[in-house]
Structure formats: C-alpha cells, structure tokens
Amino acid sequence: MSFEACAALVEKADPLRFRVAMAAPVAVRQILFPLYAFNVEVARAPWVTQEAMIAEMRLQWWRDALDEIAAGKTSRRHEVVDALAGCLDPEGAQCLDGLVAARRWDVYKDPFEGPDHFDEYINATSGHLMWTAARLLGAADESTVRDFAYGVGIANIFQAVPALTAQSRQPLIDTSDAGIKALAAQGSVRLNKAKSQRRTVPKASGPALVAGYHARPVLQMVQEAPGRVMADALDTNPARDSLRFLNVSLRGWWR
C-alpha cells in the first residue's frame, strides 16, 4: 500500500511529476513515485508551520529516515519511507540527504548569500532528485543529468517566485529584468549543454529527465519578456503544454 499512497500523494501535490511517472513503464514508476512523494513531503515541510524550530525538526526527521536507509537499518514506519526503503540504495539516501539539508533555506527569510549559494540550492533541490532517479534507472552520466536539472531548477524557481515573494522569501539574487534575463540564459545554456551530451544518458534513465519537459519553453519565455516572472505571468497554454509533453515523452527529454 505504500506505493499506492506515494502515487496518490504525488497526484494531489505534484501533478506535473505525476503525469511524467504515469507515462513511464510500470517498473519505472516503482522508483519515480517514492522519490517524487519524498520530494513533496520534504518541500512542504518548511511551510506547514510558522515555527522555525518545528520546521527544522520536520526536516531532521527525514534526514534521520534517510540515515536509517543508508545504514541498512529497519526504517521508521511511514508510507513514503517504506516505499523509499524498497528502491533506494545507500548512495541515493546520502544524496537525498543533501536535498533535505538545502530545504532549510525555505524555513527562513534570509536571502541567498550569493550566486554560489543559489547554485548550490538549485543543484541540491533539482539536481539531487533528478540525478538519484536517473542513476537508479540506468548508467547515466552525472554531469549531463545535473546540467539538465540545473536548467529545470531555474525554470521551476521562476514559476515559484510570486508565491515565494508573497511568503516574504527572496528567491532571486537580482530581480531586475536584466538579472532575470541573464539567469534564464544561464539555465538555457545548461539545458543545451545537456542536449549536446544526450548520448551519455541511456534510454533507461530517460524517464527521470522527462520531468523537465516544461523548462525550455519557460526559459525562452523569460528571456523574451523577463518582466513576466515578477508579474506572475508564466502560465503556459494547456493544449500546447500537453503537446510538448507528448513530444518529449515520445522523442526524448532533450526536445
């Protein structure tokens, strides 16, 4: 039942990744749904309370659960943890621990310390999740996956800017049009770099990267009109989005 619980959680909280997982072979879903459900739980942990200490405790709970999985111990009883323990190896557990640690930034209202801190956050939140999924599915090249995940993470944070700003967070270092445009261009460069190395990601690992199918159009939109980020105007046409998803699913994540 833990797998079904993970799928239900992702369906409710992360429709994009639910769509991606459902389009994958059944065996692949057994890996993607637990990972995506874990990501949902960790991503929302800093937001379910106004008390920073309680939010920190929630994140630490997940770090402890990953420690148990990494050590091969009997893990605590939890639907998502049960499913994770069935598909995650020690290396994956240690990698995802870095994702949980990075989410501590979401607890507080401090800005990023600088570009390096921002990149570390994107690499941990977007990169660690995608890399873990890709590695568990096949023998993918890590740098290629992380380049792609970086571009996806930039697109995701652009889409989240209005909601984060409303919660008094400062998700961007430079909110000027020039700064936003430059960041979108940087994300596109990383997507294109991954595309040029797509042969280093085997077909088996491909489903892990399909979750970034939306990134390229978002980054292009931002480069053309960077003001749309702060104006909360990055919604895509549903029909066009569905067509792009179909194209990527059938022809490859790099499209």
**Concatenated DSSP letters for the chain?**
-HHHHHHHHHHHH-HHHHHHHHTS-HHHHHHHHHHHHHHHHHHHGGGS-S-HHHHHHHHHHHHHHHHHHHHTPPPPS-HHHHHHHHH--HHHHHHHHHHHHHGGGGGS-PPPSSHHHHHHHHIIIIIHHHHHHHHHHS---HHHHHHHHHHHHHHHHHHHHHHHHHTT----S--SHHHHHHHHHHHHHHHHHHHHTGGGS-GGGHHHHGGGTTHHHHHHHHHH-THHHHTT--PPPHHHHHHHHHHHHHH-TT-
Q: Quote the pLDDT of residue 75.
A: 85
Question: Which pLDDT does position 117 carry in this prediction?
Answer: 98
Domain that holds residue 11: 1-108
pLDDT for 188-220, tens place per residue?
999 999 999 999 999 999 999 999 999 999 999
Identify the segments of the chain with pLDDT beneath 70: 1
The residue from 108, 143, 174 where one domain ends is 108
Number of domains in the chain: 2
Note whether 104 and 163 are same-domain residues.
no
Whether residues 131 and 102 fall in one domain? no
- Same domain? For 4 and 127 the reply is no
Domain boundary among 78, 108, 138: 108
- In the prediction, which pLDDT does 113 show? 96
